Each structure stands twice: as C-alpha cells, then as structure tokens.
C-alpha cells in the first residue's frame, strides 16, 4: 500500500489543486488555512528523517517549522556525494527555529563536522547537538570547538565514540576558556589521553559554566585523573564522569 507522510501533503494538495476550478479552489483555500492553523505546529515540531519519514525535499521546504530534527543513517546515506550531505547540513542549520539536531551514527567524519562547525558560527537557535559515533576525529573536533568560541546558544553536545585524541581535547580546553553557554559535554569512548585530560583540567580552573563532563573510557591515566581531581577543588560546578 502506498504510504504518505504528513509532511509530504504539499505534493498531494498541488496535484488536486491543478484539477479544480476557481470557485472550488477558493473553498479549499479557506479549509486549508484552517487546517494549517490547527495542525501545522504539532506536525512540524519534531521530525524523524528516515525510510519511513518525510522526504528530504519536504524537510528542506518546511525546515522553518521544524524545531527538533533527527536524521537517520538510512536517509543520510541516500545522499551519495559529500557536497550533497554538506549542503543538507548547512541548510538545516540555517533554520532559525531548530533547537535540537540528532545526527548520530551517520559517518559524517571530519568533513561533515567542519560543515556543521561553519554553520554553528552563525546559528543562534540550536541548543542540543547529538553527533555520537561519527568518526569525526581530531580535525572535526577542532573545527567544532573553534565554533564554540563564538556560538552562544549550544548547551548540550554529545561526541561519544568519535576517535577524538589529545589534540581535540586541547582545542576544547581553549574553547572552554571563552565559551559561556555549554553545560553538558559527552566525550566518553574517545582517546584524549593524559595530555588531553590535563588540558581540560586547566580549562576548568576558569570555566564555571560546564556542569557535566563525561570522560569515561578515554585512557586518561593516573596523571590525567589527578589533574582533573585537583581542578575540581576550585571548580565546584562541574561533575566529571571518568
């Protein structure tokens, strides 16, 4: 059976409208306006882009309504070229209403992270970004953390399992010296090591905004753990999981 998603109704309405006369069109327009006023906000509030969700075209056309967007790997992988994927990311981030973006397990790698970082520099609505399991590496992490120096809305960032090493952690430490909005950061299952932990510990001596930092499974060693413990003697706002 043919399946239609609610966000694809525009195409259906257009097809029907092309076969109607002016009088019928006017009547349908009144009904359509009432429908939109009542049902559009909840329909577009949260969108899951997958094999069973709306088309990419519908999301692009209606992106100004969407506040919470999750892009499943099955939909993301249909965009065969890097430029097409980067274009979708940049376009979605240009949405002035978007507050949550979930791109977990999409293999965006460093190039996708860099495209996101550029968009984050000017985006002023996004508060939550889920990027776990994307293999962004140090290059992608450094680009994202550079964007945090100017972004003033993002509060939650999940970078679990992204092959981030000490260079990425050092870039984060530098960003934390100026960023005043990020409160929750998940870095578990990376590899920041002792040097990365020490850099973060130093940043926590000045940053008092971050309240939750997950560093589980990062090979920080005893020296890294000691540096973090000492930082918490002066930083009473951050809780570290290690």
Amino acid 133: pLDDT: 96
Q: What is the pLDDT of residues 136-181, one digit of tens each?
A: 999 999 999 999 999 999 999 999 999 999 999 999 999 999 999 9
Can you give the pLDDT at residue 147?
Answer: 97
At 36, is the pLDDT very low, low, confident or very high (cuts 50, 70, 90)?
Answer: low
- pLDDT (0 to 100) of residue 191: 97
Question: What's the average model confidence in pLDDT over 52-64?
Answer: 74
Distance CA(203)–CA(176), nearest Å, equals: 6
Q: Compute and round to an integer the Cα radius of gyration of the chain.
A: 22
Q: What is the mean pLDDT of the chain?
A: 84
Name the CA dihedral angle for 112, 116, 117, 122, rounded to a multiple of 10 degrees.
160
Q: What is the model's pLDDT at position 1?
A: 40
Q: How far is 132 from 102, CA to CA, in rounded Å?
A: 9
Strand pairing partners for 129? 101, 157
Query: In the predicted model, what is the mean pLDDT of residues 20-41?
Result: 55
Dist CA 48 CA 42 (whole Å) = 13
Res. 228: pLDDT tops 90: yes
Distances (CA, A) of 16 to 24, 27, 31, 59: 11, 13, 14, 21
pLDDT digit string, tens, across residues 202-222:
999 999 999 999 999 999 999
Do 237 and 208 contact (CB within 8 A), yes or no? yes
Give per-residue pLDDT as tens, 65-84: 788 888 888 777 777 566 77
pLDDT at 17 over 60: no
Once rounded to an integer, what is the mean pLDDT over residues 1-30? 54
Q: Give pTM, 2 decimals.
A: 0.82
pLDDT value of position 227: 97
- The region of weakest confidence among 5-14, 124-133, 212-221 is 5-14
Q: What angle do CA 102, 218, 170 make, to 5 degrees?
A: 80
Q: How confident is the model at residue 89 (pLDDT cuts 50, 70, 90)?
A: confident
- Sequential DSSP letters for the chain: -----GGGHHHHHHHHHTTS-HHHHHHHHHHHHHHHHHHHHHHHHEEEESTTS--HHHHHHTGGG-SEEEE-HHHHTT--SHHHHHHHHHHHHT-TT--EEE-TTS--HHHHHHHHHHHHTT--S--EEE--S---HHHHHHHHHHHTTT--S--EEE--SS---HHHHHHHHHHHTT--S--EEE--SS--HHHHHHHHHHHHTT--S--EEE--SS--HHHHHHHHHHHTTT--S-EEE-
Q: What is the pLDDT of residues 177-200, one digit of tens each?
A: 999 999 999 999 999 999 999 999
Does the structure show a pLDDT above 90 at 114?
Answer: yes
């Amino acid at each position: 059976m043919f399946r239609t998603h609610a966000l694809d109704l525009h195409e259906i309405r257009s097809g029907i409208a092309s076969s109607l006369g002016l009088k019928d069109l006017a009547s349908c327009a009144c009904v359509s306006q009432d429908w939109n006023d009542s049902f559009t906000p909840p329909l577009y509030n949260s969108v899951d882009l997958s094999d069973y969700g709306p088309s990419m075209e519908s999301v692009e056309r209606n992106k100004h309504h969407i506040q919470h967007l999750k892009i499943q790997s099955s939909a993301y992988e249909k965009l065969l070229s890097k430029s097409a994927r980067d274009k979708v990311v940049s376009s979605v981030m240009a949405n002035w209403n978007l507050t949550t973006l979930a791109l977990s397990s999409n293999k965006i790698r460093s190039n996708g992270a860099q495209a996101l970082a550029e968009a984050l520099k000017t985006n002023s609505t996004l508060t939550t970004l889920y990027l776990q399991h994307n293999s962004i590496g140090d290059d992608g992490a450094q680009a994202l953390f550079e964007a945090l120096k100017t972004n003033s809305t993002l509060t939650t960032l999940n970078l679990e399992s992204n092959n981030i090493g000490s260079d990425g952690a050092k870039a984060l430490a530098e960003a934390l010296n100026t960023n005043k909005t990020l409160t929750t950061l998940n870095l578990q299952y990376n590899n920041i090591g002792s040097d990365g932990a020490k850099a973060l510990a130093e940043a926590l001596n000045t940053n008092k905004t971050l309240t939750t930092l997950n560093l589980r499974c990062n090979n920080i060693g005893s020296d890294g753990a000691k540096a973090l413990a000492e930082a918490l003697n002066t930083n009473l706002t951050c809780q570290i999981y290690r």
